[in-house]
Structure 1
């Protein structure tokens, strides 16, 4: 017999968690909503996997501090010659040292379940139970019949719905997809789910002071190169483009990050790709062969060469465009009972008057909330405002933190301190199209400054003098 629900969310990622929270706000009844996920855990904030999840443990440093304190008390007890002032000075030095150390432990569940990524309540598994929302985990859906309003799992279970929200997200592109020689060796990692992060974390501990090759110069490449280096791994980053993050960064922006990473000890090889891997007798990766003929030693390989929206289950059953499922401004597809959110949705980007597909956690959160609001409003004969999204991207690595808002098209103006050797670099870039600022990037901004550049990207103020804009720099944004 089929399990029947009024609403089913297909996928258990970020979008699913934020949609569930919005359903709860809107007054979903117990038993009406189910989330079906092939992962074994409740929805979590996926960006944590490439950042704090892989932070090195600080147990050894903590032990040294504790031994220092213990040594202090022993010296007080057994040394009658020690002066009280010297004791106090030594104790003060110890606590000063401890206050300067980073005791941040690696992020672990349940610490980063949604919706903590946006400053909201952490939705633990018991939250779903309390709200009467059924979490159907470790369940892979292998067939979707939109005409019959049914889903079939790999285990043969059938689930029926009245309204379906497709929130299947993206899947990583694997080198094995292209038949790359040796790409199935052990210790070649991709990062998408918490299980992937667990395996990589164990490899980092097993290969202490080893060598890693990171294939790709995008988000995953930059963030994982940084976190591997923090774990005292020797890192080489390889990518075919002329500079890192070419889909967003200009050459000027990229130059700063490449030099900063080099100063941190990360080796960067540009303009070539990995074409093969060799393994040792245990089947573990040993070398990476590059197209330019070089061969790199590697105990760990991390691949981050992009992703694909997971639309295969509904292909041919809904309209598609630009690689995703075509929706309206409420994330409804051409079928009135099917919605698509997050990475898989190609939606009207109102600000620019065109259809786009956006792969980012911020959009995953907001599109999910918009879809649920629209669903509940339609049931009650109400309407909601159209989705009016401002593209937003961000990243954090080492001591760096940048944010970008808007569109990266047109001419550019670089401003600020972009010296990689600066103690606190702060610089940015404006994108100007048709005499207006349409996008802004800022490294090292305060929360107030980041809000200012977001406003600029939304308002799109006119620019009369590009040279003057370069001189004003960040102060231009603060005036809008």
Structure 2
């Protein structure tokens, strides 16, 4: 069996891998010391583009345009960059076994990789309806979106089913962003989700009412409180209808499913301490095994701001946690120290001409400010979350860069507030004066 050895190995080829590679290069990694092993066929790229501009009929995003680290305003790391830095990109390679005790990874084709220090950046995998035994869920033209191959297949289907009908299963990030992208492609869109409103993990009923109204005004049909329980197909095996639990049947040429994901940690079962579905780490992303770090979606880490262990699935954390781990690795080797990770939760989305940002924690009482009428010309509104007399989270639609900075500061500082009425009256000006 062929065997390769590296000082450092990053397992996974997503956003975290690219930002970790950049940090390794900044810290002076030597040629030949670092390898990235990825089952994808392309160098690390900014995954959020796949649910946005990648699907647009005009102004379309394509590689090499969105390789990391352009998503945070940094240099674009083309495949040549890795070569120049002496970083080995091992693509189209699936690892099927990881033995932490012997510091060995085994690929599906029998290649053995040895490492001294491992960074686990395997990310998440999507939940599939076939996992739940949904009838007909293996039909053609039922799509999931996680990797660039998935996006390519969806783009082909959009072209093939011009002016057709799509059913989007799920009302979270993927559901909202892909419904918008499909509508922009002149596809007739229906969204189906079981919850009482969209994005229930983050949105309040008031926030969701704006987006549901806005999408309805764009011609997107929203069907709440039910789920897809089966699919029928045509003679070619392509999806034809979606059967709903409430008895309704929807015509569909394309189905897109976004019902969540799970961290990819099965390779490491029983080899680490786990917590909340992820690999337990400290605030430097060190795991319970020596010389092994876990970053991005797979890490459950101490969130200092809230004094509890959390796992975060978001591109911002994927970038920052990767940089933190590499800084720690290189500082430790040099006998130096770095400060621990002190993360402020941050989420954002863009769809149509809308753009929202959220910082902090969505717990406690809420105060809606601004105008959340879906027909409003400005679209500017937001929400504060208040716990124990302090503002702990802020959401803002259509904020300027300065306003978004202001709400981030509020979520970090957690200022006290006299009363909910005062906060409602002051609205965004409360954030601007902190």
Q: For the superposition of Structure 1 and Structure 2, which TM-score range results when normalised by the shorter chain?
A: over 0.9
TM superposition shift of 1:336: 1.8
Asked if residue 184 in structure 1 is aligned to residue 138 in structure 2, the reply is yes
**CA–CA distance in 2 between the matches of 1:9 and 1:436?**
40
1:4 match: secondary structure: strand
1:468 match: secondary structure: helix
Which residue number in structure 2 is paired with residue 405 of structure 1? 359
Aligned ranges for residues 186-201 of structure 1 at < 5 Å? Answer: 186-201=140-155
**CA–CA distance in 2 between the matches of 1:165 and 1:12?**
11
Deviations 1:139-164 (A, max 9, x none): 00000000010000000000000000
1:183 match: secondary structure: coil
2:305 match: secondary structure: coil
1:269 match: secondary structure: strand
Asked if residue 144 in structure 1 is aligned to residue 98 in structure 2, the reply is yes
Which residue number in structure 1 is paired with residue 28 of structure 2? 27
Q: 1:153 aligns with which of 100, 107, 112?
A: 107
Asked if residue 426 in structure 1 is aligned to residue 426 in structure 2, the reply is no
Paired residues, number: 433
**CA–CA distance in 1 between the matches of 2:298 and 2:424?**
38
TM superposition shift of 1:120: 0.1
Unaligned runs of at least 5 residues, structure 1: 58-103
Unaligned runs of at least 5 residues, structure 2: none
Which residue number in structure 2 is paired with residue 441 of structure 1? 395
Which residue number in structure 2 is paired with residue 355 of structure 1? 309
Aligned ranges for residues 210-289 of structure 1 at < 5 Å? Answer: 210-289=164-243
Identify, as 1 or 2, the structure richer in helix: 1
**CA–CA distance in 2 between the matches of 1:21 and 1:11?**
15
Q: 1:383 aligns with which of 317, 322, 337?
A: 337
**What TM-score, normalized by structure 2, do the two folds share?**
0.99
TM superposition shift of 1:2: 1.4
Deviations 1:178-220 (A, max 9, x none): 1000000000000000000000000000000000000000000
TM superposition shift of 1:415: 0.2
TM superposition shift of 1:259: 0.3
TM superposition shift of 1:466: 1.0
**CA–CA distance in 1 between the matches of 2:340 and 2:140?**
47
**CA–CA distance in 1 between the matches of 2:70 and 2:378?**
28
1:448 match: secondary structure: helix
Asked if residue 124 in structure 1 is aligned to residue 78 in structure 2, the reply is yes
Which residue number in structure 2 is paired with residue 38 of structure 1? 39
**CA–CA distance in 2 between the matches of 1:107 and 1:315?**
37
1:429 match: secondary structure: strand
**CA–CA distance in 2 between the matches of 1:424 and 1:281?**
48
2:320 match: secondary structure: helix
Which residue number in structure 2 is paired with residue 75 of structure 1? none
Which residue number in structure 1 is paired with residue 67 of structure 2? 113
Deviations 1:255-287 (A, max 9, x none): 000000000000000000000000000000000
**CA–CA distance in 2 between the matches of 1:224 and 1:16?**
25
**CA–CA distance in 2 between the matches of 1:348 and 1:22?**
22
**CA–CA distance in 2 between the matches of 1:243 and 1:419?**
16
TM superposition shift of 1:432: 0.1
2:402 match: secondary structure: helix
Asked if residue 334 in structure 1 is aligned to residue 296 in structure 2, the reply is no
**CA–CA distance in 1 between the matches of 2:313 and 2:89?**
25
1:456 match: secondary structure: helix
**CA–CA distance in 2 between the matches of 1:333 and 1:143?**
18
**CA–CA distance in 2 between the matches of 1:425 and 1:323?**
37
**CA–CA distance in 2 between the matches of 1:115 and 1:423?**
34
Deviations 1:373-403 (A, max 9, x none): 0000000111100100000000000010000
Deviations 1:13-36 (A, max 9, x none): 000000000000000000000000
Asked if residue 478 in structure 1 is aligned to residue 418 in structure 2, the reply is no
Deviations 1:285-316 (A, max 9, x none): 00000000000000000000000000000110
**CA–CA distance in 2 between the matches of 1:11 and 1:313?**
12
Asked if residue 464 in structure 1 is aligned to residue 414 in structure 2, the reply is no
Aligned ranges for residues 44-55 of structure 1 at < 5 Å? Answer: 44-55=45-56
1:351 match: secondary structure: helix
